[in-house]
Amino acid sequence: MTTLEVALGAATVVLALSVLVLAVRDGGGGGPAQLDEAQLQSSVGNAIAGLGLDGTAAQIETHAREMKQFHSDVEQMLRTPQHRGSFGEQQLETILADQLPPDMFGTQEAVVGNKRPDAHVETADGLVAIDAKFPLEAYERAVNADDPEVRARHEQEFARRVEDQLDKIATAYVRPDEGTAEFAFAFIPSESVYYHLVTEEYDMLREYTSRGVQVVSPLTLGQKLELVKAGVHAQRLSEEALAVQERLQRLGQRFDEFADDWDTCVRHLSNAKDRADDADAAFERLRSEFDRIDSLSLDGGDDATVREPLSRGRED
């Protein structure tokens, strides 16, 4: 059981006991109270102790103090520009590491000339630089001002400083001729500051969006990174398809070469067969001639043998 579930259970028990006490006090019909305050406290205390909720309540109180101290430490840290910048960079790096593989992003590297953005992402359209600086002091002065005129003056100062920062990003990191994409990100680590900019400085954000600078918060940056990953994945699929196509083309060329060699081999074999047939025909003709000559020789030899005795007989 989680601490939250235990706390809810304790609250339910206390609420039930309170209802029970009120019912007892009413006496079912407006009669005199059956329990005094001391008895009520004792009964509630015994019930909480019996359920083992006193220790849980102490733990909840301890955790609450720790959370309050942590919030105070973070708030104090963000008041210092150096610490605030480090916090923004660490938050940015955490978001990138959670959503992108290590080979797709880097931090504090000289990737656009000699300039080092807080982070960069390798996309299908080029390198996307990310700047994590934001003027929190001016924003806090505007938010905390009670006088409307003072608030308006601080809001103007805040808008001016944001505009200066966006102009620097557009000039330094939106440079397609040097390998960047046609846009860069201005990362605002605070959702409240981002919401203020979107609602109060929308025209300025739209102007710089047309110049290639997109203002993002921790939540919206995650959405942008999903689109970046989809684009990179599509590019890799396209590259793999081109590689397969090139291999098929090479295989087709090799097949054509093999087909030419095979046709030559078949032609040579056909020529050899024709010559073999011609030689076989010539051999058959030659053997027929020999057979005929041999036959004639045998026939001629028999006639000579028969005639010779006949001649000798006439002489006799």
Summarised one tens digit per residue, pLDDT across range 64-80 is: 665 544 444 444 444 55
H/E element holding 186?
strand 184-187
Please give the DSSP secondary-structure letter assigned to residue 217. Answer: -
Kindly report the pTM of this predicted structure: 0.53
pLDDT of 19 over the 80 cut: no
pLDDT of 303 over the 60 cut: no
Residue 119's CB is within 10 A of a number of other CB atoms, namely 23
Copy the structure tokens of residue 229: 């990953």
> Mean pLDDT across the stretch 118-141?
86
Whether the CB-CB separation of 193 and 84 falls below 8 Å is answered with: no
Least confident interval from 16-25, 194-203, 288-297: 16-25
Task: Tell me the pLDDT band of 255, cut-offs 50, 70 and 90.
Answer: confident
Whether the CB-CB separation of 156 and 146 falls below 8 Å is answered with: no
Residue 291's CB is within 10 A of a number of other CB atoms, namely 10
Quote the pLDDT of residue 166. 94
Whether the CB-CB separation of 120 and 174 falls below 8 Å is answered with: no
- Tens digit of pLDDT for each residue in 139-165? 888 888 888 888 889 889 999 999 999
Using CB atoms within 10 Å of the CB of residue 225, give its burial: 0 to 12 exposed, 13 to 18 middle, 19+ buried: buried
Residue intervals of the chain classified under CATH 3.40.1350 are 81-233
CATH ID of 81-233, from 1.10.3470, 1.10.287, 3.40.1350, 1.10.3210: 3.40.1350
Task: Tell me the pLDDT band of 16, cut-offs 50, 70 and 90.
Answer: low
